[in-house]
Amino acid sequence: MITRRDFAKFAAAAVAVPALSAIDSKFSGVMIGAQTYSFRTLPSLDDCIAAMKEIGLGYAELWDNMRSYPPMDEIRGIRKKFDDAGIDLYAFNYNFRDGFTDRQIEQGFLMAKAMGVTRITSSANVDLSPRVDKYAEQYKIYVGYHNHDSMKPNEFSTPDDWKKALAGRSKYAGINLDIGHFTAANFDPVSFLEEHHAKILTLHIKDRKKDHGPNMPLGQGDTNIKGVLEVLKTKKYPIPAMIEYEYGKPGMDTVAEVKKCFDYCKAALA
């Protein structure tokens, strides 16, 4: 399990190696990558990056699993790891929550800036969007608010939650659409993607059953993954589809399962 402390330690221990050519994981014009949360069972960030290289995933959304703040030089080292592996560190996940001080909110932007990332995805509270937007404008970093299917007040679950959060905000306020959670909440990700594509920074690709049902292997749930990928393909929307592997159980091979997800996406786009 990658710990918060490890996040800084692994970066500090990085060994400089020659940069590799970029991994090409674009199929029919659609960028396929992974949320690094998919590899949460692996021992370290290095193992996560090695797994992405092995599978052939060229785009990453970096999971923030810490709340301590290492020196910025160490944060920059994390970006170098991805660069050396030929992986585009496309976005950084940093969750803005009720009770955060201004310093804690700004810290997410400082970390993103140190890594050269221009997009943050966030499981945030809806009413924090004005405070977050102030720093998004200041640092010129886009923020995509991530949804779940909790249906709780002040959490992102429904289209109206994004409508409220983005109303009156700057161009830097956007959406990180998790198509599995959206389906579990009984909404249609295909029509939402078509209507709101201009505000969507990234997609999380997973499969869930409707009515708040469980995570399933891709193709076994109710999520219209093929329909979503087809829209990206035909409309040429420049939105990466980030695999987020969540259906795993103890004893399952994380790398093998993420590869199955990747193969499913490639087949859908063939």
| H helix intervals, 153-212 | 159-166, 179-184, 189-196
Nearest of 104, 59, 61, 62 to residue 85 by alpha carbon:
59
pLDDT at 72: 85
Question: What string of DSSP letters covers 76-133?
Answer: HHHHHHHHHHT-EEEEEE----TT--HHHHHHHHHHHHHTT--EEEE--BGGGHHHHH
Question: What string of DSSP letters covers 123-151?
Answer: --BGGGHHHHHHHHHHHT-EEEEEP-S--
Amino acid at 187: F
DSSP state of 22: P
Q: How many angstroms separate the CA atoms of 26 and 33, rounded? A: 9
Q: How many angstroms separate the CA atoms of 3 and 144, rounded? A: 24
Q: How many angstroms separate the CA atoms of 113 and 109, rounded? A: 6
- 70: phi then psi, degrees, rounded to nearest 5: -70, 165
Counting every residue, how long is the chain?
270
13: pLDDT strictly greater than 80:
no
Q: Express each pLDDT in 70-106 by its tens digit.
A: 788 889 999 999 999 999 999 999 999 999 999 999 9
The CATH architecture of the domain made up of 4-9+23-269 is Alpha-Beta Barrel (3.20)
pLDDT at 12: 43
Stretch 247-258: mean pLDDT, rounded?
Answer: 95
Q: Express each pLDDT in 117-153 by its tens digit.
A: 999 999 999 999 999 999 999 999 999 999 999 999 9
Q: Where are the domains of the chain?
A: 4-9+23-269
Q: Express each pLDDT in 162-221 by its tens digit.
A: 999 999 999 999 999 999 999 999 999 999 999 999 999 999 999 999 999 999 999 999
Q: Which residues contact 215 (CB under 8 A, 6 or more apart)?
A: 180, 206, 207, 208, 221, 246, 247
Residue with the larger pLDDT of the pair 38 and 6:
38
